[in-house]
Structure 1
Amino acid sequence: MANITILCGSVFGSAQNLAELVKTKLIAQSHTVTLNIPCSIADMDTADAVLVITSTTGQGDLPGNIESFYFEAKSTMPLFSGKPFGVIALGDSSYPTYCGAGDKMQELFFELQGQETLPMIKIDAIETLEPETLALPWLEEWEKQL
């Protein structure tokens, strides 16, 4: 089974709650899982795969607890050549920057040559009050791709 690192960006706790649930589900499938809040580039060294779970704040900005990872990665550009990744983005479609943090993290991992194993899922808070109802079926498909 895989050694999976979960990077979580959360402001009010929804993304963190989802990340903790996802961690539990992956451990139940015999994966080794690390949930890092906040996270750093060093957390990537032992990861076979990376899962980003993030909300968006402000004008499409990253939450503070994942922002330092983003800027560290942008400045050092460590290559994750072919490392599988996935993104679960939480947002509110009434804003023009809907899921902007998820878009930024996806773009970052593409720049670092990661391999997106399943297209990013964007979960709209207007339509879905419990993000796990959409995230968990997506997670099952993502896990199969590892």
Structure 2
Amino acid sequence: MKKVNILFGTVYGSAQYVAETLAAELQEQGYQANLLAPDENVDFVPPENELLLVVTSTTGQGDLPDNILPWFESIRSTAPYLPNLKYGLIGLGDSSYETYCGAIKQVDALLEELGAKAVVERIEIDAIETMEPEIEAQEWLKGFINATG
């Protein structure tokens, strides 16, 4: 059974809801989903024999939300080489801002710098176009599952 570690960064709860929805969907598909609470993720280094899924909204000037920023800063400062890590990314944002989905772009750049490989292209879900980001995320998850199956 494949294990997927799920991290989320949220301000108002949308990214957390998306992460919880995807964790349930992954479990239904036979994966072991490990949803890490913000207080559990600070020093978390994703094991390379497991999958990583990051769901985050963007705040401020393209910044990561406070509840995922400590993890991001920790992994950036320790810079573990992760050439066998496979990951997927879901960004939530509002395209009326110049910094649309800036947080997930930062996560993507960092993971790429650490040698990790995206399983499928990241999805950026626009709040202007959808009121239910979990629906778009579930559609994207089908491709993630097919690519890791």
- With normalisation by structure 2, the TM-score equals 0.93
Work out whether residues 11 and 57 of structure 2, in 8 Å CA contact, stay in contact via their aligned partners in 1.
yes
Work out whether residues 91 and 124 of structure 2, in 8 Å CA contact, stay in contact via their aligned partners in 1.
yes
Partner of 1:28: 28
The answer to whether the aligner puts 1:102 opposite 2:104 as a matched pair is: yes
Structure 2 unaligned blocks of 5 or more: none
The answer to whether the aligner puts 1:76 opposite 2:42 as a matched pair is: no
1:67-101 residue CA offsets vs partner (Å, 9 max, x unmatched): 01111011100122121101000000000000000
For 2:2, give the aligned amino acid. A
For 1:24, give the aligned amino acid. A
Name the count of aligned residue pairs. Answer: 146
* More displaced stretch, 43-52 vs 96-105: 43-52
Q: Tell me how far 1:47 sits from its aligned partner.
A: 5.7
Match of 1:90 among 73, 89, 92: 92
Work out whether residues 48 and 84 of structure 2, in 8 Å CA contact, stay in contact via their aligned partners in 1.
no
User: Matches of 1:82 and 1:45 in 2, distance apart?
Assistant: 9
User: Matches of 1:23 and 1:40 in 2, distance apart?
Assistant: 20
Work out whether residues 48 and 86 of structure 2, in 8 Å CA contact, stay in contact via their aligned partners in 1.
no
- With normalisation by structure 1, the TM-score equals 0.95
User: Matches of 1:109 and 1:132 in 2, distance apart?
Assistant: 23
For 1:86, give the aligned amino acid. G
Structure 1 unaligned blocks of 5 or more: none
Shift >4 Å, 4+ stretches:
none
Aligned CA RMSD, in angstroms, stands at 1.3
1:50-71 residue CA offsets vs partner (Å, 9 max, x unmatched): 0000000011000011101111
Partner of 2:123: 121
Partner of 2:14: 14
